[in-house]
Amino acid sequence: MSRSTLILRACLAAAAALSAMPAAALEPAHVFAKVAPSIWEVLVADATGRPTALGSAVVIGDGLAITNCHVLRGGKQVSVKRGNATFGARLLYPDVERDLCQLRIADFHYPAVTIAPSSTLVTGQKVYAIGNPLGFDLTISEGLISSLRHDESGQLRAIQTSAAISQGSSGGGLFDSNARLVGITSRMVSAAYGQNLNFAAPADWINDVPARAQKALAERAAALSTAKAAAAPPSGTTPATATPRKSGELGPKAQAGFAEYLRKPWPKVFVAADGDEFIYQWGQNAEFRAVSWCKERYQNCSIYARDDTVVEGK
């Protein structure tokens, strides 16, 4: 074998080894500069234009962004903003169970982030949260992955981090040292109960949002169709109309449901509707899920109780 061939093989082996090595970690300023164009503020308003909530969003494709569903709860108008630029947005795919909602934004052409597989994450690695805490746009905070929280089946359910987030950070990005998106910052534990306890949804869940949203919609449509068929009056009879419910009052069926509801853990919400109908939910985004599903099925839905406190009629 010639000397030149040996040298060529050595060079190729060295190049292969270098390509297999992880990319060098970027300085925080470089991480920020690389991903900042992909981080936007989410503004939510009611039907009259009155602001109701703010949060953050991350660009995931041309004209597409991801945020937390709880940011959009109860809103009728949604826009994304950064500096002097504002774009109207609409909800495209909601994955309420995982609290991830995909937005469609017209004439919105900004760079999409790179998503890191959850399999590459390790406890102790450095991460950066970038969002709009309390409306302070494009804020970066540094921390570690404090823990990777799994469910009973071993599936990753949440990324715990010491990177600081606040109200307004919901829907923002959690990035690794190579400026890859590892999570969507979603919630924190109040300082009154703990310190540096912040959580993000795994970023690779984003890829599942359209399919999961369409499946959930199909399931709700099937359940609604079944319920309507079961409630349909016999042929030749006049269908009964739902009796309007008086504020603060529950019918016998709803009273029995409320007794069950009181045994559920916080956070929870009980929504009542006309015709002695009701829906209750507990856990993350309970209010959003309960109100949304009630409005799909019944008339004049209203929140009767939050946690163990009756709020209606007070």
Note if 151 is an active site residue: no
**Among the options 70, 146, 169, 186, which is catalytic?**
70
Q: Examine the residue annotation and report whether 62 is marked as an active-site residue of this protein.
A: no
- In the set 56, 141, 169, 170, the catalytic residue is 170
Q: How many CB atoms lie within 10 A of CB 106?
A: 9
- CB neighbours of residue 135 within 10 Å: 13
C-alpha pair distances (Å), 164 with each of 52, 186, 197, 258: 23, 12, 8, 38
Helix (H, G, I), strand (E, B) or coil at 7: helix
Catalytic residue flag (residue 70): yes
Q: Looking up tokens 């300023």, which residue turns up?
A: 29
Burial per residue of 270-299, b for 16 or more beta-carbon CB atoms within 10 angstroms, e otherwise: bbbbbbbbbbbbbebbbbbbbbbbbeeebe
User: One of 95, 99, 176, 204 is an active-site residue; which one?
Assistant: 99
The answer to whether the CB of 303 falls within 8 A of the CB of 287 is yes
Spatial contact of 35 and 175, defined as CB atoms under 8 Å apart? yes
Antiparallel, parallel or unpaired: β 198-202 and 181-188: antiparallel
CA distance 189 to 308: 21
Cα–Cα distance measured from residue 248 to residue 245, given in angstroms and rounded to the nearest whole number: 9
Q: Which active-site residues does the annotation give?
A: 70, 99, 170
